[in-house]
Structure 1
Amino acid sequence: MSDAEPNWEWYRSFLQVLETGSLSAAARAMGLTQPTVGRHIDHLEATLGLKLFTRSFDGFAPTDAAHELRPHAAALAATAASLRRVASGHGDGVRGTVRLTASEVIGVEVLPPVLAALRAAHPALTIEMVLSNQPDDLLRREADIAVRMFRPEQEALVARRVGAIEIGLHAHRRYLAAHGTPKSLDQLAHHTLIGYDRETAFIRRLQQQYPMLVRDRVAFRADSDLAQLSAIRAGFGIGACQAALAARDGELVRVLPRAFAPALETWVAMHEDLRDSARCAAVFAALVAGLQAYIEGEQRPA
């Protein structure tokens, strides 16, 4: 292993080759040439004294060493991105870039009008949105602010509870006209159900409370909340979605509201080091106000 410090660009190329599996795809993603990316990998391997990829006719296969280095390289990337965002926010007023992470449904169906109003008030503000049902790590600065459906436990975070989003069973009027409306949870066994594919801790708790929703009884399975919502809107069957969201669509009907009404605790969180950042404070406040209005049924589609 060389005593020289590897160039950050080499790590960027390393992560892209890991992600894409080839030099050419990594080069396209980074706006570089294939030989340049190849040299980055060669230099990184020589400096670290490690074989990171096995070259073959169908691409680059990562070695065990590459897999071990991946989280560290990803942490470097997150830190570099955070540094750029912090630098972008210096100046007068609310300006710069804020990286926000939220679930698919919240990010696509709820936040756009909130962020549009925020941008209108602060034209120098840029938003980076990460749509994911997996929580990004705020402590490692993978995002500046997160909307989460659970209470953040880390002490280094500033967190604000905005309320509980009620979940209900819904179906399109067309589906209910063709198949009838269930009068009890037991009658769901005679209906087409929409639900998740892979189980999570939350899904397992939900299935324990509502055993009629176990995976084997679900006819449309998707881990994407947006895919499930699209299936409900298309009249595929009965599925769970946010009651406030379904209430916007006159064609969706809630079924069994008294028998099925779980709620998702909703929080907005950011790293405490960002408390004095004007850009993050503005986004944080807008998200809290916008989500509270949504939960209370005051927000309307843009």
Structure 2
Amino acid sequence: MDKNIGWELYRSFLAVLLEGSLSAAARRLALTQPTLGRHIALLEQQLGLTLFTRSQNGLMATEAALALRESAQAMCAAAASLERVARGLGEAVQGEVRIAASEVIGVEVLPPILVALQQRYPKLKVELVLSNRLQDLVHREADIAVRMAPPQQEVLLATRVGDVVLGLHAHRRYLAQQGTPTGIADLVDHTLIGFDQETPFLRAARASLDLPLWVRDNFALRCDSDLGQLAMLRAGAGIGICQIALAQRDVDLVHLLPEQLSLSLTTWVAMHEGLRTSPRCRVTFDALVSGLRAYLGQRH
């Protein structure tokens, strides 16, 4: 490799890797299939590697291709960030800003904050990424993130907005049918809503709750989506964990055993320090901090 390889080759490689075929990747990138094929062949030639083999199901990624995936995704995120920054240059609040948040925060809390923000700045375009996976702000997978853990990287600017308090809840309809637990021991006789796949975060949360029975085998209803669990709570399916501030919006959701069970998650708004002077990111950051503090009922 005696020269730099063009980004467009890596972009084509990543599209084929994600889509599994040249035709699907071509549609994704709005290119022709022969062009995609030439890009892959040229990249393989310049790298000296075989990236894909043909199979009945399409193109199969080789070990070499899989090893390059993370780096190619980082390049893609960096290129997208560069475009967002370029569109937002200047003193006016305009261009794209990419916000990462958990499912529940993104669906239940952020929409009115973002509506007010766009009404004030109509040239601002917001991309909302909903995932419980931490987006990499250092490599610009997102511009701004709402996180339930303090950022560790020194290159990030972070503001603590308050504590999200969680507790056990159930719908009044469920309690009318099954009775209301008066102690932790009573929960074994109830329908519990919880996760399917345990994560390090869930293990730490369970330890903080001091609730040993909150394990997969005890859940009659399992879902790894927080929104899915919330929907089951609202449907009266059983007892589950919900943000207290969110449950207070629904008169039919009852907070159970408040003196015995409580979990607080410190919430932060964070962004890369390189975006400090970006008007679009600055106003979005400030709007998120203000709006989330209002939601949590906390002032700082």
Q: Same fold (TM over 0.5)?
A: yes
1:130-209 equivalences under 5 Å are 130-208=129-207, 209=210
Shift of 1:28: 2.2
Q: Which runs of 4+ in 1 moved over 4 A?
A: none
Counterpart CA distance in 2 for 1:180 and 1:25 is: 53
SS state at 1:212 partner: coil
Determine whether 1:274 maps to 2:265. Answer: no
Equivalent residues of 2:89, 2:278 under 8 A apart: no
Deviation string, structure 1 residues 107-153 (Cα, Å, up to 9, x no partner): 11100100000000001111111111011111111111110001111
Structure 2 match to 1:221: 222
SS state at 2:166 partner: strand
Counterpart CA distance in 1 for 2:244 and 2:33 is: 49
Equivalent residues of 1:168, 1:262 under 8 A apart: yes
Counterpart CA distance in 2 for 1:235 and 1:27 is: 46
Gaps of 5+ in 1: none
Structure 2 match to 1:28: 27
Counterpart CA distance in 1 for 2:170 and 2:213 is: 16
Deviation string, structure 1 residues 160-218 (Cα, Å, up to 9, x no partner): 00000110111112111111111111111001111111112221123332112111101
Counterpart CA distance in 1 for 2:31 and 2:204 is: 47
Structure 1 match to 2:101: 102
* TM-score, normalization by structure 1: 0.94
Partner AA of 1:85 in structure 2: R
Percent identical residues: 59
Shift of 1:3: 2.8
The number of residue pairs the alignment matches comes to 297
SS state at 1:213 partner: coil
Counterpart CA distance in 2 for 1:257 and 1:297 is: 20
> Aligned-pair RMSD on alpha carbons?
1.5
Counterpart CA distance in 1 for 2:204 and 2:32 is: 50
Partner AA of 2:23 in structure 1: S
Structure 2 match to 1:7: 6
Deviates more, 1:198-207 or 1:157-166: 198-207
Deviates more, 1:33-42 or 1:88-97: 33-42
Gaps of 5+ in 2: none
Deviation string, structure 1 residues 60-94 (Cα, Å, up to 9, x no partner): 11111111111111111111111111111113321
Determine whether 1:262 maps to 2:263. Answer: yes
* TM-score, normalization by structure 2: 0.95
Counterpart CA distance in 2 for 1:156 and 1:4 is: 31
